Amino acid sequence: MTAGTPHFIVFANEKGGSGKSTSAVHTAVALAAAGRRVAALDMDTRQRTLARYLENRQATVRRLGIDLPMPAFDTFDPAKGIPIDVRLDAMAADAEIVVVDTPGRDDVDARAAIIRADTLVTPINDSFIDLDLIGQVDAETYKVRRPSFYAELVWEARKQRGKRDGATVDWVVLRNRLQHIEARNMKRVAQAMGELSKRVGFRVVPGLSERVIFRELFPKGLTLLDLAAIGEPGIAHVAARQELREMISSFALPDWPAKRIAAAG
């Protein structure tokens, strides 16, 4: 990350229920808590999960009179006629890091955002159903037969990014909800994902477990880095916070000392 050049972290997955928005909002808040100037753009005009989460956070700050780390944020609405590249440039004007949460569908604006990504994050549930988004697996051998349409989409976006400014896209696949998978199936998914990562070119990192905690925090807009505001946090809160820290560290952002993440929260 060079001076004056914001780093774009784009969360994208065309399948719903993967924890994409939860991962995106926690990333934005964690980076803001660590002292970075962060802007977040919600591109899902209908659901607006990221934007609503941060609106709830603003309301908690006002209601309790407390100070919480807060990224700047907005929602992209194509109906307003402002091109997505113009909107992303505006968000990046005063930010070191721009976090983008794309909708769970394929559209021209989502593809444009992926092309802008320096770090592309694709959260998936740890199952063959979600893995099929990226690669097709043989029913008998569990070997990867071929990359799927989404891998081809990312491949094309990477080529366009290279032609555009010579930059590369670091593609990260988050394995979410690991603890709820039967051990043998988890191993098969891991093997298939490892094989596919070499063929397609992404890094596999552990994401966030399926925890009730995340759903409980949404109405107040709190994250696991806000333990002081949660009140009487339990062991599960602490464990989930460590998952979050490890997830952010695994993104391997440039000029990003791990100690800053450890100190946040």
Q: What is the pLDDT of residue 26?
A: 92
Q: What is the pLDDT of residue 27?
A: 94
Over residues 171-180, the pLDDT tens digits come to 999 987 655 5
**What are the structural domains of the chain?**
7-263 (3.40.50.300)
Confidence of residue 4 (pLDDT cuts 50, 70, 90): low
Element (H, E) at 206: strand 203-206
Read off the pTM: 0.89
Over residues 22-37, the pLDDT tens digits come to 899 999 999 999 999 9
Q: What is the 3-state secondary structure (H, E, C) of 144-187?
A: EEEECHHHHHHHHHHHHHHHHHCCCCEEEEEEECHHHCCHHHHH
Place of tokens 């391997």: 252
Over residues 40-82, the pLDDT tens digits come to 999 999 999 999 999 999 999 999 999 999 999 999 999 999 9
Tell me the average pLDDT of the chain. Answer: 86
Q: Which of 39-48, 190-199, 250-259 has the highest mean pLDDT?
A: 39-48
